[in-house]
Amino acid sequence: MQCCALEIEDVPTFTRGKKFQLDDVIEAQQFDRDTLSAIFEVAREMENIEKKSPGSQILKGYLMATLFYEPSTRTRLSFESAMKRLGGEVLTTENAREFSSAAKGETLEDTIRTVEGYTDIIVMRHFESGAAKRAAATAGIPIINAGDGPGQHPTQALLDVYTVEREIGKLDGIRVGLVGDLANGRTVRSLAYLLAKYQDVKIYFVSPDVVKMKDDIKDYLTSRGVEWEESADLMEVASKCDVVYQTRIQRERFGERIDLYEEARGKYIVDKDVLKVMQKHAVVMHPLPRLDEITVDVDADPRAAYFRQAKNGLYIRMALLKLLLVGW
Amino acid sequence: MQCCALEIEDVPTFTRGKKFQLDDVIEAQQFDRDTLSAIFEVAREMENIEKKSPGSQILKGYLMATLFYEPSTRTRLSFESAMKRLGGEVLTTENAREFSSAAKGETLEDTIRTVEGYTDIIVMRHFESGAAKRAAATAGIPIINAGDGPGQHPTQALLDVYTVEREIGKLDGIRVGLVGDLANGRTVRSLAYLLAKYQDVKIYFVSPDVVKMKDDIKDYLTSRGVEWEESADLMEVASKCDVVYQTRIQRERFGERIDLYEEARGKYIVDKDVLKVMQKHAVVMHPLPRLDEITVDVDADPRAAYFRQAKNGLYIRMALLKLLLVGW
Amino acid sequence: MQCCALEIEDVPTFTRGKKFQLDDVIEAQQFDRDTLSAIFEVAREMENIEKKSPGSQILKGYLMATLFYEPSTRTRLSFESAMKRLGGEVLTTENAREFSSAAKGETLEDTIRTVEGYTDIIVMRHFESGAAKRAAATAGIPIINAGDGPGQHPTQALLDVYTVEREIGKLDGIRVGLVGDLANGRTVRSLAYLLAKYQDVKIYFVSPDVVKMKDDIKDYLTSRGVEWEESADLMEVASKCDVVYQTRIQRERFGERIDLYEEARGKYIVDKDVLKVMQKHAVVMHPLPRLDEITVDVDADPRAAYFRQAKNGLYIRMALLKLLLVGW
């Protein structure tokens, strides 16, 4: 399992101007600061649109296919809701693996060329790293990567950065504590990567020894002039940060070593005590689902931003669908 | 497996008047006689709406999520049809169990708080008794219980009572024969419970010894002044009743004792001979699916009401969706 | 596994004139030459409709249920796209087998009588030959057979003939080479059958010995005065034909005899060399999915018609839905 977060660098997929046009959403790295800012502007409009009844008809007559080679109900629902909130229609496929099943053996490219005949945009989830890029190379219609293997889940990265901006009001000068499984979590890796596009950012890594942030991201941050430090003191970090970004320790990463898992898992919990030291304007984020790495009594605090963060996923996806299908 | 049919008693969920408002549909017991009557009135309107083309737009712009933790195609289809017949849109989830899968372990409450961000109403099917009530306590949007474990399936109960009224023209003074598996069938238990809200009702229980109606319901009927009796003579009961409500003997309740199952199963069959003794205005009902407890040659008789009953499920669900989303 | 392709002969399901009305789509054999021509005319209109934005509302307010007893994502997606491109709505069932699951055991007829209450048309995929005919006999609404067991998949047959006409510009006088698995492929059998309705057709069979075209189709063609011959020389056939219709050798037909499969599979490949001998106006067709029986370098040639053929499936299904729901 390899992460390719650093392959591409700041290659804007569109030129701003009269005709703002996004072609595909494949990797978090494809977005530069201007693109992010433009997407966030549209996402903000979407917040207003979503609140209105009977709902927008911006994408009326458009059809989106969710081509999921592995199930991900959460992600699929938020994309389908986004499309329908804009008046568009959806074709759902949760067992797209069937296309390439043993007996049949169709290539991804052939599947894409067939499915693109039935729809205007494809939202794809695949088990193989790079599948979305291959699909985009084949398709004449826009492709959105809804996760392809371990490396990429760009709409999650976008909604995370959008949430920081919405909650704190800025991205330049932000202080973020990344907590939990920093070795395996693609969310924290992508977030660190995208935050490096902003000025005067400081990042704190707080994680059990077995799941520390890898050197590639640290080196990258250094090369971009982003300050970072590792810390074993969650309380101190929490007191200094604008954002405490907690993540789940994933049991499946530990194999037989349940003992190591249990040790790692209990080490940094965001609870009422952490809230006490946090600043008034700061927030707690989490990509969800959570187990007990944030205690339930934190939920009622206005600084618990993780359900708002999940909701922001809807706005970001609405914005991307609009930009890909009808443009700026 | 415990049934909690008697926990709550006649607590109306709304006050009739200018602003008729239903909040959630969780248990058959939540409905009093006035509420039932109001729902049935709306269901009757829905029969007219459904016949019109190109269809109503009452719920245009509204989004319903079917959050099914276990598959139930029949129930899901009728809810989704109800929503679409009213111009609304649907997000489908048939494998919602994935949310709380081993590795992830998200609580139902967290799932609800995420999903409610994507939709306007949640129709939920769950394997655990009480899950719908927990969901309703968490959600800021309406929840409809489409079955949670052994205890509750309130929309089935409503469509049963609605069918009795539509077919016979009244509920007060009705005579109903409940036939088949009375020990395990939640439909007959809920029906007995709801019928007790009406005047001069008489209920006959006709069942093999191993699956007799339990004492809690009998005691409840007695306490409400509802006449009931047990009988082993289906022909005699059929000749006296307005409604013969047949149910399926469920093989899975008998474990290894296939012999007991086979004995129970063949004992009370509704066939042409039963039809002969039934009154002209009387009807045969069944919650479906049926095996051979009603013979196929009964289907052509106008008194065979079970497919109309299934169709009434559509009208009841349309009515509930309307009442929950836009009110009276 | 039996094929009943020859049971019914030229029984038109409608009389052309003021009230063109199709009732059900069950078998390729139900269509005579006039019906085919009428359907193709509507399909041609659909090509224009599909290109328009925001899309047609011809079927607004209509509801289609896809009742799939076995998954077939490709077929399901094209039907659902067809319905939505015309403004209609869809209820999806990919695990309809659940209706007749062990414990429940409902008959197909009971399922149909329930589901027809929720929808305006049923598109059905079933594992049993004859299931669609049984459903149509029960239902009061139109049924489209989307494949029932080995014998029938009439919309595939229609789209194949439509593609020949669209690509070559005629059906009378056409020369078609059927290549690959002719013994088991229902597509080539249905295509041969339908082509026999046209004048001066010549068919070439090119297949490994173990999967030769069966005598019933050969005898049928002879009885209709259709010329046919078997050939082992793909290059020669390709040089003479208007259409080279390639099919996949299906591994599952060979059981343990992988050696026979591998031998059969490699024998007749459509590649650049085949393209070289083909006439300029001729085309390569394939029902998809393909493995390597057409090499990937053929795709870029304008004579590679198989992805256009897949797209024609959309137009044919749009046409059928229109004809079944609102008529000519």
Q: A251 and B118 in contact by Cβ < 8 A?
A: no
Q: What is the pLDDT of residue A150?
A: 80
Q: What is the pLDDT of residue A13?
A: 46
CATH number 3.40.50.1370 is the correct assignment for the domain at C55-152: yes
Identify which of C73, C250, C290 has the shortest CB distance to residue A110. Answer: C290
Q: Specify which residues A229 forms β-bridges with.
A: A204
Clarify whether B104 is annotated catalytic.
Answer: yes
Per-residue pLDDT band for A20 (boundaries 50, 70, 90) equals: low
Residue B52 is predicted with a pLDDT of: 79
Residue A204 identity: Y
Q: Which amino acid is at B110?
A: D
Nearest CA in chain C to B90: C91
Residue with the bigger pLDDT between B1 and A217: it is: A217
> How far is the C-alpha of A320 from the C-alpha of A22, rounded, in Å?
8
Beta-bridged to residue B243, according to DSSP, are B176, B283
Answer yes or no: B163 catalytic. no
Residues of A in contact with B118 (CB under 8 A): 77-78, 81, 314
> What is the per-residue pLDDT for A102?
59
Higher pLDDT, A99 or C224: C224
Q: What pLDDT, on the 0 to 100 scale, is given for residue B225?
A: 94
Integer CA distances (angstroms), B173 to A93, A245, B202, B278, in order: 51, 64, 7, 17
- pLDDT of the residue at C251: 84
Q: Alpha-carbon distance B20 to A60, whole Å?
A: 33
Per CB-CB distance under 8 Å, the chain B contacts of A84 are: 63, 89, 91
Q: Determine which helix (DSSP H) or strand (DSSP E) holds A227, and give its type and residue range.
A: strand A227-230
- Find the catalytic residue in B85, B133, B153, B317: B153
| Chain A residue closest in CA terms to B93 | A73
CATH of the structural domain C154-250+259-310, one choice from 2.60.120.10, 3.40.50.1370, 3.60.130.10, 1.10.730.10: 3.40.50.1370
pLDDT band for position C263 (50/70/90)? confident
Residue from C253, C254, C231 nearest C244 by CA:
C231
CA gap B154, C51 in Å, rounded: 46
Is residue C266 within 8 angstroms of chain B, CB to CB?
A: no
Q: How confident is the model at residue C11 (pLDDT cuts 50, 70, 90)?
A: very low
Q: Nearest residue on chain C to B53, judged by CA atoms? A: C61
Per-residue pLDDT, A6:
39
Q: Which two tokens stand for residue B210?
A: 């191993």
Among B98, B111, B113, beta carbon nearest to A71:
B98
The Cα C54–Cα B208 span in angstroms is 60
pLDDT over 50 at A64, yes or no: yes
Task: Encode chain B in three state secondary structure.
Answer: CCCCCCCCCCCCCCCCCCCCCCCCECCHHHCCHHHHHHHHHHHHHHHHHHHCCCCCCCCCCCEEEEEECCCCHHHHHHHHHHHHHCCCEEEEECCHHHHHCCCCCCCHHHHHHHHCCCCCEEEEEECCCCHHHHHHHHCCCCEEEEEECCCECHHHHHHHHHHHHHHHCCCCCCEEEEECCCCCCHHHHHHHHHHCCCCCCEEEEECCHHHCCCHHHHHHHHHCCCEEEECCCHHHHHHHCCEEEECCCCHHHCCCCHHHHHHHHHHCCECHHHHHHCCCCCEEECCCCCCCCECHHHCCCCCECHHHHHHHHHHHHHHHHHHHHCCC
- Ranges of CATH 3.40.50.1370 domains, chain B: 55-152, 154-250+259-310
C203-217 per-position pLDDT tens digit: 999 999 999 999 999
The reported pLDDT for the residue numbered B102 is 59
Contact criterion met (CB below 8 Å) for A282 and A241: yes
Quote the pLDDT of residue C209: 92
Is A74 in the active site? yes
Q: Is the pLDDT of residue A293 over 90?
A: yes
Say if strands B243-246 and B283-285 run parallel, antiparallel, or are unpaired. Answer: parallel
In this prediction, residue A204 carries a pLDDT of 98
Best of C58, C62, C70, C84 to disrupt the A interface (most A CBs within 10 Å) is: C84
| pLDDT, block means (10 residues), chain B with 328 residues | 38 46 91 94 95 84 95 94 97 86 82 97 95 97 93 93 98 97 90 95 96 95 96 98 95 85 91 98 96 96 98 98 94
Catalytic residue among B15, B16, B60, B74: B74
C98-134 pLDDT, tens digit each: 887 756 789 999 999 999 999 999 999 999 999 999 9
| DSSP annotation of C304 | B
Name the residue in chain C with its Cα closest to that of A109.
C296
- B307 interfacial to chain A (CB closer than 8 Å): no
> Is A126 within 8 Å of A149 (Cβ atoms)?
yes
* Residue A311 is a catalytic residue: no
- Sequence-distant (6+) residues with CB within 8 A of A179 are A206, A207, A234, A237, A244, A245, A246, A247, A268, A270
Please tell me the pTM assigned to this model.
Answer: 0.93
B77–chain C Cβ distance below 8 A for any pair:
yes
**Model confidence pLDDT, tens digit, residues A171-207:** 999 999 999 999 988 899 999 999 999 999 999 999 9
Please tell me which of the candidates B53, B77, B314 has its beta carbon nearest to residue C61.
B53
Torsion of CA A308, A314, A315, A318, to 10 degrees: 180
Q: Which residues of C touch A95 (CB under 8 A)?
A: 71, 73, 94
Which one of A16, A60, A74, A113 is the catalytic residue?
A74
Q: Which DSSP string corresponds to A152-172?
A: B-HHHHHHHHHHHHHHHS-ST
Taking residue B225's Cβ as centre, other Cβ atoms within 10 Å add up to: 10
With a CB cutoff of 8 Å and minimum separation 6, the contacts of A170 are none
Task: Quote the mean pLDDT of chain A.
Answer: 91
What's the confidence (pLDDT) of residue C20? 57
Neighboring chain C residues of A65 at a CB cutoff of 8 Å: 77
Compute the CA torsion angle C235, C239, C241, C247 (nearest 10 deg).
30
Are A73 and B105 within 8 A, CB to CB? no
Extract the runs of DSSP E, i.e. beta strands, from C27-73. 63-68
SS3 A84: helix
Contacts of A63 in chain C (CB under 8 A): 81, 84-85
The pLDDT, as a whole number, for residue B242 is 98
Q: How far is the alpha carbon of B63 from chain C, nearest alpha carbon, in Å? A: 14
Contact check, Cβ <8 Å, C63/B84: yes
Cross-chain CB nearest to C288 (options A63, A91, A114): A114
Does the CB of C92 have a partner CB in chain A at under 8 Å? yes
Alpha-carbon distance A316 to C72, whole Å? 32
How far off is chain C from A232, nearest CA to CA, in Å? 50
pLDDT at A7: 41
Neighbours of chain C (3+ CB pairs under 8 A): A, B
Give the whole-angstrom CA distance, residue B325 versus residue B62.
Answer: 8
pLDDT of residue B144: 98
- Best B80, B104, B119, B124 member to test A by mutation, with max A CBs in 10 Å, is B104
Q: Are A191 and A160 in contact (CB under 8 A)?
A: yes
Beta carbons of B103 and A250 less than 8 Å apart: yes
